[in-house]
């Protein structure tokens, strides 16, 4: 777990043991991922649910979460800790992470990245030069490995999800993004997953 040290310039995270992606490089998440997770929990169960989830975290992690700005960043492990506590609190509802991913896109995502999301077609959204994934996480990217009218496959590269919550949030977020880009009757399936032994995480997207 990272140790948070307040400084005059803000927060410095001292990592006693580097948080790494498959043992090679550190991973980070933007404050937007923290903010939208907490906002979703508040929408689902009010302040009581938010407080119950935060109470499961260490004081240092809670402090880091409270201070990070939407465009700031924290080690990905901090976000994983929050997701794990939320998953425990909402384990009776296996759909929460997908719905949380959609909530992230249609709420703060639309406020910050409206121009990236509102395209003339899903194909234009998926093949644009700006990476929506990299506005939320780094390193890594979500790349298009198959593309035909009404059908695409995306692959996660260079980033170790480490938890099924990430994968489920991506499923819901991508479905919402395809809808915003004008795709009718969208479907998103997580067809390959590293956590289940596959070489990559991949999502198949279809729309009309």
pLDDT in tens, 165-200: 999 999 999 999 999 999 999 999 999 999 999 999
**Per-residue pLDDT, 24:** 55
**Per-residue pLDDT, 25:** 75
CA–CA separation, 167 and 78 (whole Å):
17
CA–CA separation, 43 and 98 (whole Å):
15
What is the DSSP pairing of strand 187-192 with strand 201-206? antiparallel
CA–CA separation, 115 and 112 (whole Å):
9
**Burial degree of 6 (CB within 10 A; 0-12, 13-18, 19+):** exposed
Question: How large is the greatest C-alpha to C-alpha distance in the chain, in angstroms?
Answer: 53
Other beta carbons within 10 Å of 146? 12
* pTM for the whole structure: 0.86
Asked if the peptide bond before residue 139 counts as cis, ω within 30 degrees of 0, the response is yes
Q: Which residue stretches of the chain have pLDDT < 50?
A: 1-23
Give the count of alpha carbons within 13 A of 157, CB side only: 9
Other beta carbons within 10 Å of 85? 19
DSSP result, 65-116: HHH--TTSEEEHHHHHHHHHHHHHHTTT-TTHHHHHHHHHIIIIIHHHHHHH
At 6 the three-state DSSP class reads: strand
CA–CA separation, 177 and 166 (whole Å):
16
At 137 the three-state DSSP class reads: strand
């Amino acid at each position: 777990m990272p140790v948070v040290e307040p400084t005059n310039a803000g927060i410095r995270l001292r990592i006693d043991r580097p948080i790494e992606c498959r043992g090679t490089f550190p991973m980070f998440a933007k404050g937007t991922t923290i903010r939208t997770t907490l906002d979703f929990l508040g929408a689902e169960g009010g302040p009581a649910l938010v407080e119950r989830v935060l109470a499961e975290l260490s004081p240092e992690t809670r402090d880091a979460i409270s201070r990070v700005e939407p465009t700031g960043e924290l080690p990905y492990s901090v976000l994983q800790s929050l997701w794990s506590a939320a998953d425990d609190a909402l384990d009776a509802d296996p759909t929460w992470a997908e719905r949380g991913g959609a909530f992230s896109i249609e709420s703060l995502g639309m406020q910050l990245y409206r121009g990236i999301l509102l395209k003339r077609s899903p194909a234009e959204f998926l093949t644009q030069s700006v990476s929506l994934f990299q506005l939320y996480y780094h390193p890594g990217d979500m790349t298009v490995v198959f593309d035909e009218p009404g059908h695409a496959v995306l692959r996660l590269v260079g980033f170790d999800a480490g938890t099924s919550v990430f994968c489920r949030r991506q499923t819901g977020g991508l479905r919402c993004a395809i809808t915003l880009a004008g795709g009718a009757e969208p479907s998103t399936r997580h067809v390959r997953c590293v956590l289940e032994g596959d070489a990559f995480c991949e999502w198949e997207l279809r729309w009309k």
